[in-house]
Structure 1
Amino acid sequence: MAKIFIVEDNPDIIHSTTQELNKWQHDVITVNNWQNVANEILATNPDLVLFDITLPTFDGFYWIQEVRKHSQVPIIVISAAEIDTNVMHAVAAGANDYIMKPFAMTVLLAKIQALLRRNKQTTDAEEIMWDHNSFNPLTNILTNGNGTAQLTPTEGAMLQVLLSHRNKTVSKEQLLQWLWQGGKYLNENTLNVNISRSRTKGNAFTQNVVSAIDWWKTMNKHYFKLFWRSILLPTIGYLFLLSLIGLLVILYNLPTVFWGDVIRFSLPFFIVWLIGSGAIKYYRLRHLNVSQLDKFTPTNMTEGKPVELLQDEQAKNIDTIRQLQATQHEQLDHLELFTHEIKNYLTSLNAAAENSPIVASTEVKKNIHQANYYLNLLLNDERLAINNHDYDFQWIDIANLINNILQQNSAVFIHKQLIPELTGLDGIKVLTDRKWLHFCIEQLLSNAIKYSVPNSTINISWEMNSLRIVDHGCGISMNDLPRIFDNGFTGKNGHRTTAATGMGLYLVKKVTEHLNFKVSISSVQSKGTTAILSFLPDNIRSSN
């Protein structure tokens, strides 16, 4: 893989580091002459150098400066010395990165991998090739002979790490370490989302390739069908002409050898003409692509049908691209919205900490709860966008689920002095996905809390195969009610409170469209709102 030069005088560190690097197929070179370190490095032309600071002769800073006079090879400094001063000295001398002893080997490997990757991108930016695929790490474009897929920077970095360790098992922890050292700061949940999204793109990419192959099969099928139709008329005309000549030979008692000569000399020319015209038509069609489609004019029926098929396929691809672009813009808008809201609560918390050395626990809990609320919205929005249908249907105890949600939101109920009243929930079980049902109930309950009057109640009951959440707050105006499930719609109530984003009910509606229950909302202004989750009778069990 890479040639790595280790400048270290501790044999135990050299041994352990060499063993780990060899596992990843890196070649390791060590110092032979401590009086000639710089020349040894330059002579071996390594891909990366690991430098200790405390060395038998001159220190690491001196040797780094000597190397930098002649080479820009990536350098990582490894030292147990005090970090603050030595980081400055190492960077000033020309080091690219720094790691403290003792260090985790996964962290060192991640730094090495990130530095090698960055250096490769800036030096040659070569595409990574495997099988019939190629990946450009600068543009993040994954290419196959039949199509391309545009990856995000994070997905591109993930793919590059995995490709650089082909035929090896890479754990999530290792992948996260490498991504962090490469400047992609993810947590495990975000990594899982990116992995799922990459798989989705990979599947779509494969489907596009298969679709392209199927299209060419279809086009070839139509080509040969139309080709035989196009040669049928000339062939019939040729045979008719031969029959006419034969009839004249008989009527005028001409030598039959004359008719034979006509066939013998004309048939080869006719066959060559058929083959030549067919080859020209086939060549024109095989070399037709989307960029030439508008300029291409079919000259006959043989070319007309495949061109029509290609135009239909082009129109479908344009529609698909537009839909993907619209979805991407929508997701970016959601990301910006949720990020803004999370930052607001974190900023509020930070401001409280700066104004006072002691921040009330209620203030901390309130801001963390709201930030966590919008973070969950963001993650669930991403999961819905992936559309991987990772549903786990099971029988869920409604009373148990509601109590768990109430306990998780107890601080908000207490802060606003709201009391939940539960009716008819015991013994009710529904068949659906627990994670998404939890999300929907939590969103509906959050709205009920948000718009309830302090010192009031929120009624949660089971009636007529439906879970009902009723608040006694300000209600929703008749003009706003038809639009409450629209993306980003906040309405008059939302304008009165900055806590509204218009995304909660939109996502609940989106979830129910994929699952086996429905959501509906009714409201009377100034009296309250009722949110209803309705289930099919076959998906309900009752022990009452």
Structure 2
Amino acid sequence: MKQNKRYILYLLREYSWQLLLYFFVIGLIAVTFYLHNLSWEIYQDAILFTFPIILCLFIVKVTVDWYKHTRLQRLIQKSWQIESLDELPKGRLLEADYYALLEKLSKEMSQISYQMTHQQKELMNYYAMWSHQIKTPLVALDLMIQLEDSPRKKELKNEIFKMEQYLDMMLQYLRIQSMENDFVFKEVSLDQVVKPIIKKFAPFFIAKDLGIDLRIEGIQLVTDEKWLSFILEQIIFNGIKYTKNGQITIKSEEPQTFVICDTGQGILPEDIPRVFEKGYTGLNGRGNQKATGLGLYMSKEIANRLGLEMSITSEVGEGTQVKFGWEQASQPENNGGLE
């Protein structure tokens, strides 16, 4: 209905001048007949002959334009491909010119898209190579620290660990645009995903004297284990960074949900609606100059693609709660890819 109204308005604008021109011409003819004192019957016959012809031409024109309009609307709703140009309605000289212009632009866009894809692949390959190369001196530093008998040995090891975490985050950030090709969906136990993460971050729990409370036995969900582990690492590590004392709690509150709670400094109410924005660090992040604003953004993006509903609640001075929910029936159907 809305589309039909738009088309009627288009007809009124497009053909109003032609109708006005027709009435202007027959008006001039009427004046000519009047000045020459000609018979009005001849004038009436002229109108009776010309008006049906004009009306038929008008109907044909409207029908042709409506056909072209509907074809273009179907093309607009479809995903654009260069082959779609063959479906464009062609007829008049200007339409052929527009077709040639679109064909030229589409070829240029395809070439630009190919170049961007090629550049992105080269960039990913470069960063992948760089990250593997930079890990070599990090491993060497780690070995050197292990041989040193220094009171800051644990602190140095933790800093090296953080550097490795940031390197991994960078690689995952580059992969996030095409991560669907890497999905392997299967039923996993949340307990089996969380415990290796806790073990991985154990030095930080010990260094800050933080407790850990796990109440997630028996929770099963269909997801990609590797990417879920990445999300939980970001959330748990954030909890450790912004918690000076207390504990991290991971528990199930309702069926097909679990929540990660910390007793940290919390998030300001005005920051909560924006914590998932790319690059947004909030007051806590601005206080921590190392914050990138990518961890929560990436976690939310990945959670959405895994079919997980992720939300945050917080109270300043009390802590933060990150809640995950899912529906087994709504899990993504893509179960291909390689780990």
Do these two structures clear the TM 0.5 threshold for a shared fold by scoring above it? yes
CA drift of 1:358 comes to 3.6
**Distance change (3 Å), C-alpha of 1:506 and 1:302:** closer
Aligned to 2:192: 400
What do residues 469-493 of structure 1 show as CA deviations (whole Å, max 9, x unaligned)? 1111110111211111111211111
What residue identity is the alignment partner of 2:229?
H
Q: Deviations over 1:271-304 (max 9, x none)?
A: xxxxxxxxxxxxxxxxxxxxxxxxxxxxx24623
Match of 1:532? Answer: 323
Question: CA separation in 1, counterparts of 2:238 and 2:191?
Answer: 20
Task: State how far apart, in whole Å, the 2-side matches of 1:510 and 1:384 are.
Answer: 8
Distance 1:438 1:485 in 2: 18
Match of 1:310 among 90, 95, 103: 103
2:182 alignment partner, SS class: coil
Structure label with greater radius of gyration: 1
1:411 corresponding residue in structure 2: 203
SS class of match (2:252): strand
Q: Corresponding residue for 1:376? A: 168
User: Which whole-Å CA distance do the structure 2 matches of 1:320 and 1:496 have between them?
Assistant: 40
Distance in 1 (CA, whole Å) between partners of 2:251 and 2:325 is 12
1:96-245 pair list within 5 angstroms:
211-212=81-82, 214=83, 217-218=86-87, 226=91
Give the counterpart letter for 2:282 in structure 1.
Answer: G
Contact 2:222 2:328 in 1 (8 A): no
**Cα deviations across residues 390-424 of structure 1 (Å, max 9, x unaligned)?**
2100111111211121111111111111111112x
Aligned residue number for residue 283 of structure 2:
492
* Aligned equivalent of 2:301: 510
SS in 1 for 2:265: coil
Q: CA deviation at 1:538?
A: 3.7
Which structure 1 segments of 5+ residues have no match?
A: 1-209, 231-299
> Whole-Å Cα distance in 2 between the matches of residues 539 and 414 of structure 1?
39
The residue aligned with 1:457 is 247
Aligned pairs (5 A) from 1:291-330: 300-301=93-94, 303-307=96-100, 309-310=102-103, 313=106
Amino acid at match of 1:516: G
Where is the helix percentage greater, Structure 1 or Structure 2?
Answer: 2
Cα 1:432–1:388 shift into 2, 3 Å: closer
Shift of 1:305: 4.7
CA offset digits 1:412-443 (Å, max 9, x no partner): 111111111112x1111100000011011111
TM-score using structure 2 length: 0.60
By how many angstroms is 1:320 displaced? 5.7
- Where does the alignment leave 5 or more consecutive residues of structure 2 unmatched? 1-79, 332-339
What per-residue deviation string (whole Å, max 9, x for no partner) do you get for residues 85-109 of structure 1?
xxxxxxxxxxxxxxxxxxxxxxxxx
C-alpha change, 1:459 and 1:302, in structure 2 (3 Å) is closer
More strand by share: 1
Matched residue of 1:389: which SS?
Answer: helix
Q: Write the deviation string for residues 102-126 of structure 1: whole angstroms up to 9, x where unpaired.
A: xxxxxxxxxxxxxxxxxxxxxxxxx
State the distance in 2 between where 1:493 and 1:387 align: 29
**One-letter code aligned to 1:534:** G
Tell me, in whole angstroms, the C-alpha distance in 2 between the residues paired with 1:522 and 1:319: 43
SS in 1 for 2:193: helix
2:314 maps to 1:523: yes
1:312 shift after superposition: 6.6
Deviation of 1:495 after TM superposition, in Å, equals: 1.7
Q: Tell me the secondary structure at the aligned position of residue 446 of structure 1.
A: helix
Could you tell me the TM-score, scaled by structure 1's length?
0.38
Q: Mark the CA change 1:317 to 1:539 in structure 2 (over 3 Å): closer, same or farther.
A: closer
Whether 1:422 and 2:214 are equivalent positions in the alignment is: yes
Q: What is the root-mean-square deviation of aligned Cα atoms in Å?
A: 3.6
CA contact (8 A) 1:517 1:533 kept: yes
Read off the aligned partner of 2:158 and give its amino acid letter.
Answer: K
Q: In structure 2, give the amino acid aligned to 1:495.
A: R
Write the distance in 2 (CA, Å) between the matches of 1:404 and 1:526: 29
Cα shift readout 1:313-350 (whole Å, capped 9, x = no counterpart): 3796599699x59x96xx89xx7xx98xx99x96xx69
> Which amino acid is 1:306 matched to?
Y
Whether the 8 Å contact between 2:85 and 2:99 is mirrored in structure 1 is no
CA distance in 1, matches of 2:114, 2:273: 30
Match of 1:118 in 2: none
Match of 1:447 among 238, 242, 246: 238
Q: Distance in 2 between matches of 1:387 and 1:319?
A: 23
Counterpart residue number, 1:203: none
Code of the residue aligned with 2:200 in structure 1: it is Q
Give the AA of the match of 1:462: S
Matched-pair contact (CA < 8 Å) for 1:430–1:539: no
Q: Which amino acid aligns with 2:250?
A: I
Q: Does 1:390 align with 2:182?
A: yes
CA distance in 1 between counterparts of 2:275 and 2:268 reads: 10
Cα deviation 1:218-244 (Å, max 9, x = unaligned): 57xx56xx3xxx7xxxxxxxxxxxxxx
- Paired with 2:261 and 2:112, the residues of 1 have a C-alpha distance of 42
The alpha-carbon deviation at position 361 of structure 1 amounts to 3.7
Superposition pairs for residues 51-70 of structure 1, below 5 Å? Answer: none
User: Is the partner of 1:399 in helix, strand or coil?
Assistant: helix
Greater relative CO, 1 or 2 (CA 8 Å, sep 6+): 2
1:463 alignment partner, SS class: coil
